Amino acid sequence: MFERKINGKGHLEIGGADAVALAEKFGTPLYVYDENYIRGMMRVFRKTLEQEYDGNGLVLYASKAFSCMGMYAIAKSEGLGADVVSGGELYTALKAGFPAEKMMMHGNNKLKDELALAVKNNVGWIVVDSLYEADMLNELTKEAGKVQNILLRINPGVEAHTHAYVQTATPDSKFGFSVADGSAKETVKNLLTKTNLCLKGFHCHIGSKIFEKQSFVLAAEKCFAFLSELKGLGFEAEVLNLGGGYGIHYTKEDPDLNFSDYADYFKALIDAVKSECKKRNLKRPYLCIEPGRSIVGEAGITLYKVGAIKEIKGIKKYLAVDGGMFESPRYCLYGSKYEAMLANRANEAPTEVVSIAGKCCESGDLIGEGFNLPQAKSGDILAVFSTGAYHYSMASNYNRNPVPPVVIVKDGNAEYLVKPQTYEDLIRNDVLPQSEK
């Protein structure tokens, strides 16, 4: 877990830096990441793969959780691959010098331009998710005189216990081809006829925020049952990507996992892979996983300044902060819960329960409800925990609010990963109509 350290001044610390000093120096709202935590998590997955599976595979950072050039640079230096899902993520990774051969491209409706960019740059694997895409990709690679390594996204039909919107492998998912109804096998037959595509294996991802080891193990077992079935076609998978999805600690309702617990999750998956290979007499595939949230989620906190405070007698008390759904969309989207602390009064015991409102023109614009805090004053610095995944990456300019900057802290030293957006940035692509110029 991310350790909530408090310094001698009674201030919250992150990455060895005083959170209040960070808020003063960089302004609020501010996304702050602890670099050691990110690197620590990356190493946990990479080392587990080395120790338990002779390093025969690749840990891909699922960059949708938090994508910017600096993150790809960190993933590269830790020896990870990257999962990219759009031309934008691919472009950002390439600009950061990330090796294309260690990238895997996902998406249920990749655009022709996105595929062309991937082919041009020799992306390691493209995960095909429709026949429409396979045909388009085959044409593109033919034109380029190349053969592209692909995986097929399959749906093993495992129901993971998580929020409906973040589930991806239930029978009615928009992702993948169902193993159960035979469409995955039919698609394999089709893909094997494509002259410029080389089917290397399969990918599945059963969902996100999952804590049940058994869900991952079950998905692996279902994948191997499918791999066995394919023996009849004379096809043996060389690569198997079992996706991401490990849960993190948001509130007391969630388990609090430390680094070695994540190693255990991955080890359980590897054990299942090994035993399935043995049982079914299959060659051990090159094994990939692609965690996102678990690498960056707890590594990130968001700092805000408390502004207006409003109490609706007998009903609720709102603390309004200088952020909102434009930079913290998960409460509005999924009803996600968080824990928070007054970073400048971190030693004080909570005395009241409050709702934290954003500054957007919308009643539902909340950072969350039910926060236990000491009685806050305007000007206090509020820290919300576990905001490192799917916050910055899902931020918008709603109400023309600039997306806050991102800083990363290591051993007390903070630097920008993403500089603040300015008002000038907001109008950069705006054009007045001819008639009004």
Binding residues for ligand LLP, rule: CB under 6 A, are 62, 64-65, 83, 106, 166, 168, 205, 208, 243-246, 290-294, 330, 334, 389-390
User: Of 11 and 330, which has the nearer Cβ to ligand LLP?
Assistant: 330
CB of 175 to ligand LLP, least distance (A): 7
Give the shortest CB-389-to-ligand LLP separation in angstroms. 6
Distance CA 423, CA 242 (A): 42
Q: How far apart are CA 290 and CA 73, in angstroms?
A: 17
Asked if residues 155 and 177 have their Cβ atoms less than 8 Å apart, the reply is yes
Strand-strand pairing, 177-178 and 148-155: parallel
- Which residue of the set 68, 198, 204, 361 is catalytic? 361
CA distance 58 to 260: 19
User: Helix, strand or coil for residue 50?
Assistant: helix
Q: Is 64 or 185 the residue whose CB approaches ligand LLP more closely?
A: 64
- Of 414, 321, 404, which is closest to residue 16 (Cα–Cα)? 414
Least distance in angstroms from the C-beta of 347 to ligand LLP? 31
User: Which residues on adjacent β-strands are paired with residue 303?
Assistant: 30, 383
- Indicate the residue among 247 and 405 with the shorter CB distance to ligand LLP: 247
Residue 361 annotated among the catalytic residues of the structure: yes
Residue whose CB is less far from ligand LLP, 81 or 291 = 291
- Name, in order, each residue with C-beta under 8 angstroms of 55's C-beta and a sequence gap of 6 or more: 49
Alpha-carbon Rg for the chain, nearest whole angstrom, is 23
Q: Least CB distance from residue 352 to ligand LLP, whole Å?
A: 28
Copy the structure tokens of residue 295.
Answer: 């690498």
How do strand 30-34 and strand 300-312 relate by DSSP bridges? antiparallel
Residue 343 region by backbone torsions, left for phi larger than 0, else alpha for psi between -120 and 50, else beta: alpha
Cβ-based nearer residue to ligand LLP, 168 or 355? 168
Catalytic residue numbers read 361
